[in-house]
Amino acid sequence: MGEIILKPKYNGTIPVECDVITPDTFEGKSKEEISALKTFIGPEEHLLSDIFEISGDFTSQKEDMVIKIAGDAGNVKLIGFQMTAGKIIVEGDAGFHVGCEMKGGEILVKGDVKPWAGREMEGGTLHIFGNAGDHLGGCYRGRWEGMLGGTIIVEGDAGNNVGDGMVDGKIVVNGNVRAFCGIRLNGGVLYVGGNAIRAVGVEMKKGTIIVAGKIKNFAPGFISTGVVSDYETGLSGLALPGKLIGFNGDQAFFNKPKGKLYVSLSENYDLLNDELPAKERPIEFKGNALKVILNTGSTIEQGRIIKGGNKYSHEYLDVCAVCNMHPEDYILLGKPEKVKVSSENGKYSVLVRAEPNEDVLRRNVFIPRSVWANVIVDAYSVSTGSPIYKGGTVYVEPSEGEILEAEYIIDNIYR
């Protein structure tokens, strides 16, 4: 098996485009011909030998060829672009688009990779021993189909939009992921061994997502299918928790979706619905405050008042300054007339009227989307412009005092 060694010597800040670094391109070429391959730094054309010192055995066919990048390549883009065979080993970091559109072979990266690793790949294996950036195994801007086949393994963490538009294949992230993991998933298997921040599986139609850790802000379009043991999922070769909660979705976007989402039961008790045993839903207090999930949304009455331009009216306060909760939670809190609802970090709070409501799940509360709800809604938007209106953690406790008027909140608290 012939090995070609590329020792990085470019240390500029502008990424260099090296889509020529593949066994397919190197096959049948001499050292001189490989050295003369074209690369680009911005609009400027450079030889591959300007970027790397090149040595090794140049006699192998692509199936038997190993290309070793002996050092850090964090500013080198498109390593392994559309490769079909052979192996590439990067002994440090790799830049944008490593392994994108690859169809076969193997790429090993001993460090971290930048965004769009494995973009739209069709086959082969991409193994990342560090962390991955955003859009791992996803699709490029303006396209709808991401990963079409193959396997991506990340030993560390990954960023936002892992597997966006994924059609087939397998992505394994053994660490944590950020927001929108599995967005628009249409097939394949996506595994997260750690935690996820927000909106896992939104707009998914088919495929399977497994989260072995905690989902901080759960998407509302998933319907629970019950608690299952790891062996009942039909999945193998993955480090699954003993029990998982199964979901079907995303029903907020599709009438009959076939997407399957499994999450760790021990890390996500708060996601259990009211059809499951009460013993599976722990009661967690911080002092006198009950930990719950906050959901907000527009209601017919709230919308009618706002469209009529009566946001400062007492009617608006009566309709919107109310915390709806399951009767069991209402009793746990001592049937209070009013409650203080506080943000997870304790920095913000608002006083509203308490209202028992059978339509609200246990350990959840619903406050109409309004100036009162906005005081405690998590503003973290992951650059989407949309705060955590649904699925955020808050604390609710009995309280006395006057419910503030909307005008006072806007003039004094928002500023």
Q: How much is the pLDDT for 388? A: 77
* Residues of the domain holding 186: 3-271
pLDDT at 11 over 90: no
Q: How much is the pLDDT for 165? A: 96
278: in domain: no
User: How high does pLDDT run on average in the chain?
Assistant: 91
Q: How much is the pLDDT for 140? A: 85
| Residue 238 sits in the same domain as residue 346 | no
**pLDDT by residue (tens digit) across 121-155?**
999 999 999 999 999 999 987 888 999 999 999 99
Of 140 and 99, the one with more pLDDT: 99
Band (6; pLDDT cuts 50, 70, 90)? very high
pLDDT at 1 over 70: no
pLDDT at 410 over 90: no
Give the strand pairing for 3-8 and 52-56: antiparallel
| Residue 264 sits in the same domain as residue 397 | no
| DSSP helix/strand/coil, 320 | helix
**pLDDT by residue (tens digit) across 183-237?**
999 999 999 999 999 889 999 999 999 999 999 888 888 988 989 998 888 888 8
| Residue 138 sits in the same domain as residue 264 | yes
Name the domain boundary from 271, 303, 318.
Answer: 271
Eight-class DSSP state of 125: E
Q: How much is the pLDDT for 219? A: 87
pTM, rounded to two decimals: 0.79
Q: Across-strand partners of 191?
A: 172, 210
pLDDT at 330 over 80: yes
| Residue 331 sits in the same domain as residue 396 | yes
Q: How much is the pLDDT for 379? A: 76
| DSSP helix/strand/coil, 16 | strand
**DSSP character string of 259-301:** EEEEEETTT-GGG--TTS-GGGS---EETTEEEEEEEEE--HH
Name the domain boundary from 271, 301, 330.
Answer: 271
